[in-house]
Chain A
């Protein structure tokens, strides 16, 4: 039990569909992340949120749209995806900033991922 949950675990969608991935963390962390992991490729950072504010967008196409309504929830809205977007999408969280305002403990905790197949 990692404290980070993701739904759905598996998703098949057509290129014209709109779907959303959900991530929830129960660890009291302030920072949340979306990663893409394709077969035989390293983890690719997509987005970072700290205290609900987006701090990183790693040149991700606009067909991926993140949303972070609060520090515990993170969504990834998908629209008009391409077959090459098929991958394992991972959510992670970390404590984020320290009480003093600097970067605090930085260990990330991952969810189980959503396996996405775009047809």
Chain B
């Protein structure tokens, strides 16, 4: 069974600090997605990583896909209150139309 574990589960930091969120699995994924979800809303896609070792940047957010395509990280530089939300990683389950979602990291950035 493919699983995605995220750490940390909760994170509360001050504005301006840097942070890294991790998404780990013992299984290989063909791609991984990162989403941010705000309360009462659906997850909004941030990025898709496909190639092992790939690094993508979205303003202050840097996403990396592990060389073996089993893990991914999200690094936020100089966090802002607008970064507050639930961060989810997800990947397609092999041979099915199912998606595997991580357990989520709930981030709160204090002004």
The chain A residues found within 8 Å of chain B, CB to CB, are 2, 4, 6, 31, 33, 42-43, 45, 48, 50, 55-56, 58, 88, 90-92, 96, 103, 106-113, 115
Contact = CB atoms under 8 A, between A and B. Distances in A.
Contact of A106 (B31, B43, B88, B104): B31
Contact of A111 (B31, B42, B98): B42
Nearest to B42: A110
B40 A115 contact: yes
Task: Identify whether the interface residues of B are mostly helix, strand, loop, or mixed.
Answer: loop
B66 to A, nearest CB: 18
A77 to B, nearest CB: 20
Given A42-B104, A110-B35, 8 more contacts: A43-B43, A55-B96, A56-B96, A90-B42, A103-B97, A107-B48, A108-B45, A110-B42
A115 B41 CA distance: 9
B97 A48 contact: yes
B44 A45 contact: no
B42 A2 contact: yes
Interface in B8-67: 30-31, 33, 35, 40-45, 48
A11 to B, nearest CB: 13
B48 A48 contact: no
Interface in B58-111: 88, 90, 92, 95-99, 101-104
A106 B90 CA distance: 10
25 contacts: A6-B42, A33-B97, A42-B101, A42-B103, A43-B43, A43-B88, A43-B101, A55-B97, A56-B96, A56-B98, A88-B40, A92-B42, A103-B95, A106-B31, A106-B92, A107-B45, A107-B48, A108-B90, A110-B42, A110-B44, A110-B45, A112-B42, A113-B40, A113-B41, A115-B40
A75 B89 CA distance: 26
A31 B97 contact: yes
Contact of B33 (A45, A55, A96, A108): A108
